[in-house]
């Protein structure tokens, strides 16, 4: 995850029927994400969207970097 993504932890994801999902937009504040979600639901009522919080932890990032270097 990039530093820019860490600054915007609130995400709107679009859910697809075949259990796939994709991130549509990222926000710094939950209220901003919810306002944008309302707009998306009005524009495309047939699509399913959800607001999620994507936390980032330094320990998990460090653990991933440590496993890459061991190979």
For 41-66, how does the pLDDT look when each residue is reduced to its tens digit (9 = 90+)? Answer: 999 999 999 999 988 765 445 445 55
- Does 36 have pLDDT greater than 80? yes
Q: State how far the alpha carbon of 23 is from the alpha carbons of 17, 18, 42, 69, 71, in Å.
A: 15, 16, 18, 29, 31
Considering only CA atoms, give the Rg of the chain: 15
Give this prediction's pTM: 0.70
Quickly list H helices, the chain: 3-7, 30-43, 58-69
Q: What is the mean pLDDT of the chain?
A: 83
Q: How far apart are CA 12 and CA 15, in angstroms?
A: 10
């Amino acid at each position: 995850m990039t530093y820019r993504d860490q600054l915007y932890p609130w995400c709107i994801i679009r859910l697809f029927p075949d259990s796939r999902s994709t991130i549509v937009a990222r926000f710094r504040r939950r209220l901003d994400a919810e306002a944008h979600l309302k707009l998306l639901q009005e524009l495309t009522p047939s699509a399913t969207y959800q607001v999620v919080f994507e936390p980032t932890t330094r320990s998990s990032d460090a653990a991933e970097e440590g496993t890459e270097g061991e190979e």
